[in-house]
Structure 1
């Protein structure tokens, strides 16, 4: 009887623990649902705010450009024209900066929520690199070295989005390095993937900074001190694009040797990755 009684007590205890565990799991599930909804609300707010800002910015920019054209045709003194043009040029420049920030926010939100659908097809990665480097050389006047294999690098990808990644990485290298230093860029095929790298001789990044570089809205102390503009979204957007191609992006930075960003993307994207990249975004409840 004693043995039987102990077994019954143990069974009751186990049953009680099972009920407690089930209740705890139910609470955790409810909390997870609430957190997911809060996350969706945050994403929804960001993209709505960005879209609401885009319209007035476009209007302001259009009005400034119209005023500048009329100013060129107006019969006013040269001194007055120069004075007004200086004001309008400042307004246009600042509006373009703000417009670029809003576009970055929209791009990030669309990729993060899955609303941005990637268009996969054959594209020449060598050509993408060549065009971006040529444009950046013209725009910055900087020395940029580009090393590519003699044959085209054809990959299955969204060419427009990969161009965006290359622009982001090259622009970063130019932005955070001294003007008299050289930017080194290269791409080659390795193990059925394209390996792309961008090197600059700017200040080294600590391991702590490297661990946060691809986080949304993260900016290094150096960037915050010397470069006021920017959301800190360029690398985050690049990471989203690369990963949706089934690839990887990482950084290596050593004191005295500069900083190098690496991107590795498979030449042929797997069907399941293409399917994921074409999934519509989940709607909020």
Structure 2
């Protein structure tokens, strides 16, 4: 009886171990070119965040169901969509002060009137980065109470109301491409005893980009008496055959080597 394989891909499960929020008062702020590019001078870091609170997201929308005779649902109208994302800041700095008391100064506290700002939410896991950057702007307000005491770290929970562009875009999304395949070339190779041949390992990513990862991959030979391998270079030892395997980022591929 054949046992069913476990469904799913654990490599696609995310556990974000670090995060940041960036704010820009310049609604025309330059966006990073990609997820690997740092934020520029237009952006300010909120600082330490409460990881347990994370980035809760709330969606609100008015719906109106339309029924035909007999009680059959035929249509649903949708309007007044609203999206909010929240975060809890643990630092009392210039950025959090400007969000807590917009329009105030170092010497005067004014009735808060939320300003239009750009907001970027960034989460990280190892080398993997995911960003959501407001396509239009947001208004950030205090969510709940704020105060100081002697037993808890001072914190400020903020809610960012996200305003979409005219064609409904809420965020620009940037994410580090993930590895989807590894290819070793050539797939077969014939060498004379004593000869050295080169193999190439190419990684393919989710954005269809590729990269040569020969030097970074791990290489092994199935039969060291026939052929050895180091950094993609195969040395023919004795007549026979061996399978050369490259492994990188959880993916593997092989080359069948014949020594004659």
TM-score (norm 1): 0.22
Larger Rg: 2
Q: Give the structure with the higher percent strand.
A: 2
Kindly indicate whether structure 1 or structure 2 has the higher relative contact order, using CA contacts under 8 Å at least 6 residues apart.
1
| Greater helix fraction, Structure 1 or Structure 2 | 1
